[in-house]
Homo-oligomer: A and B are copies of this chain.
Amino acid sequence: MNNALVKQLWQEIDKLPIIDPHTHIRPRHSTALSIAEILSYHYYTELVNATEFQPGGFPTDDPRRFTKTLLEKLSIISNTVQYDWLLSLAQNLYGISRQDWAPDNWASLFDRAQQVIDQPSYPQDVIRKSNIKRVFLTNAYNEDLAGVDTSFYVPCLRVDPFMDYASSPKEWASLGLFAGTDGRTVAGYKAGLDKAFARFAELGMAYAAFSSPPNLVTRYVAEEDAARVLAKAVTGAALSAEEKGLWAAYGMNQVAERCRRYGRPFHLMIGVNRTTYAQGVPSGTDLFDSVNSMKGYDYLLNEYADVTFPTSVLSDTSGLELTAAAWIRHNVWPSGHWWYSNQPTDIARELERRLNAVPYRKLIGYYSDAYYLEFVAPKFRMYKFELAVALANRIERSQIHPNMAPLSVESALQLAEDVLINNVKRVYKLA
């Protein structure tokens, strides 16, 4: 690693504003109300719980007590990148230095952060200091978005409820209520989906998104088969794995058809096993399966050739499969580094693969997946550093590589801008 060159590149890349194309930020509660909310990000509770099991969970309803409790344990995760996000943001936003993070100091940290947080300009200060230009949301179809500034917050429709719909009776009522139809029929389901898309198109949605289980299989599903499965479920009968799979494939097609109709991408987030760990903290119970084939997506990607599919994979074992899909398929764009793959080791590998073999205009570099605006910058910094390392290596290799011409710092920075800004704007049609 050429440290001077990495540092030079990083400093330039860091000047790029942030467009964050996937988050879970709630616009009306976009920043933390106390440092306890920062510390309650599941990474901290789950990593601490993974090291010293907290059978009763954490006292999340009492911010000060929660902060005290967590700080007592925090040093046990001090080697992790997630810890680095935290200390980095606390330094930059609250002026809390690394040496201040001691259990005994909890009250002081809480209060110092609170002073900053209580400023009326705090959310805008976070945005300004982090140089964030746009933040994409992950929205329920029936979520109240009144008053949300969609020139900054870009709505995205989460379609997960439509995929396991047949086995989720509470969704029938919810969707029926939303669409004013009978959610227990395929007609009602389709009307609900129509209304959701119409509403989100109106709101300027960037894309529809689905986080799928491993080994989903897409295929043609006849409407009468979907209707039969839903009707069976409505009688109260349990669905078989085959019937659930049929409905998921039906749901994928229904969503893709509407993405086509509205000219919006369908963002695939492939491979999560939900509620796997029984003793987990909230949001800390999901894992993935290293045995995950993207082959099941062939039908969807071929059939909806005119829909763009930004795609994230959760398992490292799907990394080259995604690179290869993006390398030949015109409608697959590799998107970011998701969750368990969102750490330097796997970012570095996938980034290098993509830069070597996927045309640069298709690369969506990064998204933060954050729940609060405070985390956007440190997570992007982690990625930008790996990007600087990858580009520095490329520059160094280019100087002696028999097939390459020397890569200039300017060209390397242009590449960084493309994957972080220009491609995101183009694929999501941002103004």
Q: Check B50 against A321 for contact (C-beta < 8 Å).
A: no
Q: Check B359 against A340 for contact (C-beta < 8 Å).
A: no
Cβ of A276: which chain B residues have Cβ within 8 Å of it?
295, 298
Q: Check B88 against A403 for contact (C-beta < 8 Å).
A: yes
Cβ of A51: which chain B residues have Cβ within 8 Å of it?
330, 359, 361-362
Rounded to whole angstroms, the CA-CA distance of A87 and B398 in the bound complex is 13
Q: Mark A311-338, 1 if CB is under 8 A from B, else 0.
A: 0000111111101111111111000000
Q: Check B343 against A353 for contact (C-beta < 8 Å).
A: yes
Q: Check B284 against A328 for contact (C-beta < 8 Å).
A: yes
Interface residue tally for chain A (C-beta within 8 Å): 97
Pick from B273, B302, B321, B343: contact of A277, CB below 8 A.
B302
Question: A107: CB under 8 A from chain B?
Answer: no
Residues of A that sit less than 8 Å from B by CB: 1, 3, 6-7, 10, 14, 46-53, 76-82, 84-85, 87-88, 98, 273, 276-280, 284-285, 287-295, 298, 301-302, 305, 315-321, 323-332, 340-341, 343-346, 349, 352-353, 355-362, 378, 381-382, 384-385, 393, 396-397, 399-405, 415
Q: Quick one: closest B residue to A299, CB to CB?
A: B278
Q: Check A293 against B289 for contact (C-beta < 8 Å).
A: yes
Q: Quick one: closest B residue to A52, CB to CB?
A: B330
If A340-B357, A381-B403 are given as contacts, then 9 extra A-B residue pairs at C-beta distance below 8 Å, sorted by A number, are: A1-B397, A50-B359, A51-B359, A78-B360, A82-B357, A290-B292, A291-B292, A345-B356, A385-B403
Given contacts A352-B345, A403-B84, contact A76 B359 (CB under 8 A): yes
Write 24 A-B pairs (CB below 8 A) sorted by A numbering: A3-B399, A47-B328, A50-B329, A50-B362, A51-B362, A76-B359, A76-B361, A81-B356, A84-B403, A88-B402, A277-B298, A279-B305, A285-B328, A288-B321, A290-B292, A290-B293, A291-B291, A291-B293, A320-B341, A344-B352, A381-B403, A382-B403, A384-B402, A385-B403
Q: Check B329 against A277 for contact (C-beta < 8 Å).
A: yes
Q: Check A290 against B277 for contact (C-beta < 8 Å).
A: no
Q: Check B327 against A356 for contact (C-beta < 8 Å).
A: no
Q: Check B320 against A315 for contact (C-beta < 8 Å).
A: yes
Q: Check A403 against B328 for contact (C-beta < 8 Å).
A: no
* A271 → B minimal CB distance (Å): 11
Kindly name the residue among A1, A77, A79, A349 whose own CB sees the greatest number of chain B CB atoms within 10 A. A79
* A233 → B minimal CB distance (Å): 25
Q: Check A327 against B291 for contact (C-beta < 8 Å).
A: no
* A314 → B minimal CB distance (Å): 9
Give me the 5 closest cross-chain CB pairs, A-B, nearest first.
Answer: A278-B302, A53-B330, A84-B403, A88-B403, A51-B359
Cβ of A359: which chain B residues have Cβ within 8 Å of it?
47-48, 50-51, 76-77, 79-80
Given contacts A290-B292, A291-B292, A345-B356, contact A381 B402 (CB under 8 A): yes
Cβ of A87: which chain B residues have Cβ within 8 Å of it?
403, 405
Q: Check A396 against B327 for contact (C-beta < 8 Å).
A: no
Cβ of A382: which chain B residues have Cβ within 8 Å of it?
403
Cβ of A353: which chain B residues have Cβ within 8 Å of it?
343, 345-346
Q: Check A46 against B328 for contact (C-beta < 8 Å).
A: yes
Rounded to whole angstroms, the CA-CA distance of A402 and B3 in the bound complex is 13
* A8 → B minimal CB distance (Å): 10
Given contacts A50-B329, A328-B284, A356-B345, contact A290 B3 (CB under 8 A): no
Q: Check B278 against A305 for contact (C-beta < 8 Å).
A: yes
Kindly name the residue among A52, A315, A400 whose own CB sees the greatest number of chain B CB atoms within 10 A. A400
Cβ of A14: which chain B residues have Cβ within 8 Å of it?
402
* A392 → B minimal CB distance (Å): 11
* A344 → B minimal CB distance (Å): 6
Rounded to whole angstroms, the CA-CA distance of A80 and B327 in the bound complex is 10
Q: Check B320 against A340 for contact (C-beta < 8 Å).
A: yes
Rounded to whole angstroms, the CA-CA distance of A285 and B324 in the bound complex is 11
* A119 → B minimal CB distance (Å): 24
* A306 → B minimal CB distance (Å): 9
Cβ of A323: which chain B residues have Cβ within 8 Å of it?
340
Q: Check B293 against A98 for contact (C-beta < 8 Å).
A: no
